[in-house]
């Protein structure tokens, strides 16, 4: 007798219970990722609902004990790229290479923030959740996706590479460039 038979549960509801037990603790970060991808709360909710349904239908293919969050985020990311992305004019990124490394660090020092205390703390105090979100959401799509997986989900380069299905070197390069653009956007948000 299976455990779900002993408890009077049927197999379907046991499967749903198992899936939801994995889903509930990470629901907030899954929604956060969807929100950064779509930049719209209604689309984000739709994306989450559709992705979780797709994941549930494919749950038999999920290897128990492996990283459920990465597995679900891969489904969510693919769904976003195949169905939810909208053709929007992307910001010009031609000048990324001209941006110096550690842009914020240099700007903060140029503005004399290091004289007033901890410059990182001073910059962060000028940035609330809305401003940081706006800066991430202003990134071109391919950078916004890796930045979301890095900042919001705190995935490793390897995990990000598996989620977006590209080499680790590409992830490293995109993340490096997205951080440059992000730092410029954050400085503008902080000083704006």
Partner 1 sequence: MSLYKLLNIYTCKEALARLDDYLDRELSPEETKKVAQHLKICHACTDRFKFEAELIQGLRAKVQRIDLPPDLMENVSQALQNAGED
Spatial distance between the Cα atoms of 158 and 74, rounded to a whole number of angstroms: 13
User: Which lies closer to partner 1 via its Cβ, residue 89 or residue 142?
Assistant: 142
Is residue 62 involved in binding partner 1 (CB under 8 A)?
no
Contact 76, 47 (CB under 8 A): yes
Site for partner 1 in 146-175 (CB under 8 A): 151-152, 154, 156-157, 172, 175
Is residue 4 involved in binding partner 1 (CB under 8 A)?
no
List C-alpha distances in Å: 80 to 25, 34, 36, 38, 85. Answer: 22, 8, 11, 8, 6
Interacting residue with partner 1 among 49, 91, 165, 167 (CB under 8 A): 49
* Least distance from partner 1 to the Cβ atom of residue 149, Å: 12
Interacting residue with partner 1 among 128, 165, 169, 191 (CB under 8 A): 128
* Least distance from partner 1 to the Cβ atom of residue 87, Å: 25
Token pair of 111 as six digits: 């503005």
Contact 123, 113 (CB under 8 A): yes
Sign of CA dihedral 78, 84, 87, 90: negative
Selected range binding partner 1 among 1-9, 19-27, 60-68, 71-79, rule: CB under 8 A? 19-27
Beta-carbon contacts of 70 under 8 Å, excluding residues fewer than 6 positions away, are 155, 159, 162, 163
Interacting residue with partner 1 among 74, 144, 174, 179 (CB under 8 A): 179
Is residue 58 involved in binding partner 1 (CB under 8 A)?
no
* Least distance from partner 1 to the Cβ atom of residue 96, Å: 15
């Amino acid at each position: 007798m299976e455990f779900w038979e002993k408890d009077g549960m049927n197999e379907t509801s046991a499967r749903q219970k198992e899936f939801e037990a994995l889903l509930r603790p990470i629901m907030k970060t899954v929604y956060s990722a969807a929100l950064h991808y779509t930049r719209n709360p209604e689309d984000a909710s739709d994306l989450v609902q559709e992705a979780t349904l797709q994941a549930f239908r494919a749950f038999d293919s999920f290897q128990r004990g492996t990283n459920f969050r990465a597995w679900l985020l891969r489904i969510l990311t693919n769904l976003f790229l195949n169905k939810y992305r909208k053709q929007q004019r992307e910001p010009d990124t031609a000048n990324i290479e001209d941006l110096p490394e550690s842009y914020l660090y240099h700007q903060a020092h140029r503005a004399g923030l290091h004289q007033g205390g901890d410059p990182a703390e001073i910059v962060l105090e000028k940035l609330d959740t809305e401003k940081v979100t706006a800066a991430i959401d202003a990134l071109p799509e391919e950078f916004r996706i890796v930045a979301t997986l890095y900042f919001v989900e705190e995935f490793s380069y390897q995990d990000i590479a598996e989620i977006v299905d590209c080499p680790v070197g590409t992830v490293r390069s995109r993340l490096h460039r997205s951080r440059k653009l992000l730092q410029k956007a954050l400085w503008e948000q902080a000083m704006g």
